[in-house]
Amino acid sequence: MRKPSPFAVGLTMFYICWITLSVLWPMACADGWLSPSIGKLGACSWHGGVSLLSRFSQYIVIPASLVAAFVARNIAARFAKKKILISPVPQVFTSGVHVYHPQFGRGKVVHTESDGKLLVNFSGTHKKLHLKTAIASGLRVISYVP
């Protein structure tokens, strides 16, 4: 499953907060009447105009939504940056190192020669491998004991 982008998290949080705060703090006429036509010209004229508190709510709802979106985006960005770093096993083929070969399976290096050849014990069978061709075919170190 893909992680959502920090921008998408922030935008979603903005809209969620905006809708939630708008529902909790609706626009109202001065006498408390909640008209469905608020925002249209003359909607509250029979009720004393738009409530001062309701007009002020737009200055609270939008900034609060923006702050929540900013915080959510930063949290999402912090989690998106976290990656588990696995330190690679050094690819040093010395005696005693456990290796894996795609054809022969797991083995242990018994002896290394100066001309680039390895003597590897694969489940009781000793194989002499040329280092360059073995690496090209997929030989890799699976545990390294310095």
Q: Could you list the residue range(s) of the whole structural domain that residue 123 is in?
A: 98-143
Q: Which two tokens stand for residue 33?
A: 């009447």
pLDDT for 37 beyond 60: yes
Per the structure, how many domains does the chain have?
2
Report pLDDT for 107: 92
* 112 and 75 assigned to the same domain: no
| Angle, vertex CA 138, rays to CA 132 and CA 140, nearest 5 | 85
* 51 and 116 assigned to the same domain: no
Mean pLDDT of the chain: 77
* 64 and 124 assigned to the same domain: no
* 106 and 43 assigned to the same domain: no
Report pLDDT for 55: 57
pLDDT for 121 beyond 90: yes
In a domain, 86, yes or no: no
Averaged pLDDT for residues 119-130: 90
pLDDT for 108 beyond 80: yes
CB neighbour list of residue 68: distance below 8 Å, 6 or more residues apart: 13, 14, 17
* 64 and 106 assigned to the same domain: no
Q: What is the pLDDT of residues 41-54, one digit of tens each?
A: 667 777 777 665 65
Q: pTM to 2 decimals?
A: 0.40
pLDDT for 80 beyond 80: no
